[in-house]
Amino acid sequence: MSIATDKISRRTMLAATAAGGLLTTATLAQAQNGDPLANGRGGTNPGPMNPSRTAQNPDLMVPPSTDAGSLPNLRFSFDDAHIRLSGGGWTRQVTARELGVSKDIAGVNMRLNAGGVRELHWHKAAEWAYVLYGKARITAVDANGHNFVDDVGAGDLWYFPPGIPHSIQGLDPDGTEFLLVFDDGDFDEDNTFLLSDFLKHTPPEVLAKNFGVPATSLANVPDPSELYMFPAPVPGPLSADKIAGAVEVPLSFSHRMTAQAPMRMKHGTVRITDSAVFPVSKAIAAALVEIEPGAMRELHWHPNTNEWQYYIQGQARMGVFAASGEARTFDFQANDVGYVPFAMGHYIENTGNTTLRYLEVFKSDYFADVSLNQWLALTPPELVRVSLRADPQFLHALRRGKSPIVPA
C-alpha cells in the first residue's frame, strides 16, 4: 500500500495495525486526531518528522508485530549517496562506508553522456555491470593479448576480471547509465588505476625507453583530474573500432541478460545469469526478478553467500529472518540497494501498483536458493505436521516444484 506524502501529518507515526504493519486510512484518521491506537501499540508523534521519508518507509516507521531484535540496517539509497560530477557524466557509489553490513560487495551508479569516456583503467576487484539506459561501447585486453570491443544496451551485462584494463564510452543518441558491482565491499571508485595517473607518475625517460619514442611524445599527457570521465567525440560504427588482426578474447566479456528466456510464472519472471550461461563471470552471479503487484518472491534463503540487491523500478517490502528470534522489515523504491546476510530467510513483496523489477547479486560463480515451500514438500509429511501442528490443508498445498514467485 502506498501512502501519499500529503496525507501524513506530524501525528501520523503511531503503531502497527493488523494489516501487515502499514498505515491504514483508519490509522491516519486516529493519528490526525492525536488518539492512540486501540491495540495499545505505539502512540502519537508530536515531534519533528520528515513526511516524505515516512511515506517511503512505512515498515520502518510502523513495523509489523513480527519484527524483533536488532538486525543491522539492510537498506541504502543511491539517492542518498555523494555524487561526483565530471565533464563526461557523473558517478556515485554505495560501499561498506554507506551500507556497513555489505563487506563483500560494493555498487556504483554511473552516467556517461554521448561520447563521454570512463578513462582507460583497471582495478583489483572484479567488475560486473548491468546497463540501465542507453548504449555504451566497452573495450578490454586480457593478459594474453586478446582484444575485446563490443556495444551494449539496456538489459545487457559486462564483466571484467580483476586487473583487466578496460574502458567505457557513451554512444548516441544520449549516452548511457549503468550499475557497476564489485566483489569488494570496501571498493572505492575514486581509487582505481588510471592510465593518465600511471603515466604522470612514471619518469619521462622511462616512458621514452618503454615505448621507443622521444620523451616529448608524451609531454602533453593530461593531469588525472582532467580525465576520469571526460567528453570526447562519439565513436563511429563498432566495426571501425575492431583491431585488424587482433585475436579476440576466448570468453566474451559481455552478455545479453534480458535476451535470456526467463523462468515464467503467472505473476512474474526470473532470469538467472551465472557462469553457466556467462562463463567469464567467475566472481558474480545474478538474477533479474520481475514481480507483478501483490505477488511475492517466495520465502527462501541462499546457501552459498550473501545477497546484494538493486531495485530498478517499482516498490517493495522485504522481511528478513536472522534466527534467534530476530527479524526486520524494510521498504524499497527504485534506486535503492538492499542486502541479505548469508543464509537468512527472507521474502520480497511487490507493494506497489506496477511491476517490481530488481537484481539479486551474489559474490559467487553460481546462483543457488533454498525454497521453504519445496523443503517442506520434500520432507516426510508427518514430520512437518508434528513440527508445525499443521492441518491437512497446509500439507496438501505444499509444492515439490520450486516457484520463485507466488501470486497475490
Is 396 one of the annotated binding-site residues? no
Is 255 one of the annotated binding-site residues? no
Closest CA to 159 of 142, 176, 177: 142
Q: Which three three-digit cell numbers place residue 63?
A: 513495523
Is 127 one of the annotated binding-site residues? yes
Is 82 one of the annotated binding-site residues? no
What is the residue type of 262?
Answer: P
- Which candidate in 98, 298, 349, 360 is catalytic? 360
318 DSSP β-pair partners: 330, 348
Q: Over the range 112-151, which residues count as b (16 or more CB within 10 Å of their CB) and which as e?
A: bbbbbbbbbbbbebbbbbbbbebbbbbbbbbeeeeebbbb
Is 166 one of the annotated binding-site residues? yes
Is 302 one of the annotated binding-site residues? yes
> Is the Cβ–Cβ distance between 87 and 231 less than 8 Å?
yes
> Is the Cβ–Cβ distance between 183 and 283 less than 8 Å?
yes
> Is the Cβ–Cβ distance between 320 and 340 less than 8 Å?
yes
What is the residue type of 81?
Answer: A
251 DSSP β-pair partners: none
Is 123 one of the annotated binding-site residues? yes
Query: How many Å apart are CA 404 and CA 347, to the nearest integer?
Result: 10
Is 307 one of the annotated binding-site residues? yes
Q: Are strands 345-350 and 356-362 parallel, antiparallel or unpaired?
A: unpaired
Annotated catalytic, 248?
no
16 DSSP β-pair partners: none
Residues forming the annotated binding site? 121, 123, 127, 166, 300, 302, 307, 346
Instruction: Report, as residue numbers or ranges, the catalytic residues.
Output: 360
Annotated binding site for Mn(2+): 121, 123, 127, 166, 300, 302, 307, 346
